[in-house]
Structure 1
Amino acid sequence: MTYQSNIRRTSNYKSIAKNSRVLSANPYDLVAVLFAELRENLDLMVESARRNDNARMFEFRAKALGILNGLDESLNFEAAGELAQTLHTIYREAARRIQAEIGASFIERAESAREMLHEIEKAWLAIAPGVARV
């Protein structure tokens, strides 16, 4: 078996596991899955930027921004009020940092966005009932 087929098979297993988790998720778990996916894509984006692999970096950045947009759009301003507004502001700032122009400070900005969002993820996991802890 070749190295590439092992990678493909591992990727398929991860995809199946992820899809199963999403299909059986309650709303709390679904947000946790989104945060985990966001963190993974941000990690891969930063790693790709460090290797000067701009094609992969842009791919992971687009995925991360899509997830971040989904989290932002799911905010319920009527029910959560000030908390929703605060999260909206944080998500918008994180997106701004992620979309920063590629250059000397890009990795620093992307890492700062990743840290901001990871703090929210940890808080979510601390309050969400029955969610797997990161």
Structure 2
Amino acid sequence: MKASQATKTGPHGRVAGLLEELGETLGLIIESARRGEDLHIFQYKASARDILVGLDRELNFELAGDLSQTLRVMYNEAAKRIQLDGMEAYVERIESAREMILEIEKAWTEIVSFN
């Protein structure tokens, strides 16, 4: 489900769309890093940061306090891994952030299918 489709399905759908978009964007960062395309990396990192901000805005601490707090910690960790530059194992850090997001997306998709 793309973010444009997700908007029609309420908050759960928006989150599902944002998670999918983030996973795709992280994949683009990895591909660009392997090709040495610094400008693309910069652009995709900015997009990933914006998506993470959007995901954070969707957190509902009143409805899902502990879960929301856990997701906030995971989103912050993903942001840290994405933003670090110039260090060894950059691609591996992005891949680990992507795997973390894909696990969240998988669980979220299951939640959305029950609504």
Largest Rg, 1 or 2: 1
Whether 2:76 is the aligned partner of 1:92: answer yes
Whether 2:104 is the aligned partner of 1:110: answer no
Secondary structure, counterpart of 2:18 in structure 1:
helix
- Corresponding residue for 1:76? 60
Give the letter aligned to residue 42 of structure 2. F
Residue 27 of structure 1 deviates from its aligned partner by 2.1
Residue 130 of structure 1 deviates from its aligned partner by 6.6
- In structure 1, list runs of 5 or more residues that go unmatched: 1-17
Deviation string 1:27-75 (CA, Å, 9 cap, x unpaired) is 2221111111111111001100110000001101110111011101221
From 45, 50, 56, the equivalent of 1:66 is 50
- Corresponding residue for 1:12? none
With structure 1 as the length reference, what TM-score do the two structures score?
Answer: 0.78
- Corresponding residue for 1:33? 17
CA distance in 2, matches of 1:19, 1:110: 22
Higher RCO by CA contacts (8 Å cutoff, separation 6 or greater)? 2
CA contact (8 A) 2:16 2:108 kept: yes
Runs of 4+ in 1 over 6 A off after TM superposition: none
With structure 2 as the length reference, what TM-score do the two structures score?
Answer: 0.90
- In structure 2, list runs of 5 or more residues that go unmatched: none
Give the letter aligned to residue 72 of structure 2. H
Give the number of equivalent residue pairs.
115
- Structure 1 vs Structure 2 CA RMSD: 2.0
Within 5 Å, give how 1:15-30 maps onto structure 2. 18=2, 21-30=5-14
What is the percent sequence identity of the aligned residues? 49
Secondary structure, counterpart of 2:113 in structure 1:
coil
Q: Please, which moves more after superposition, 50-59 or 19-28?
A: 19-28
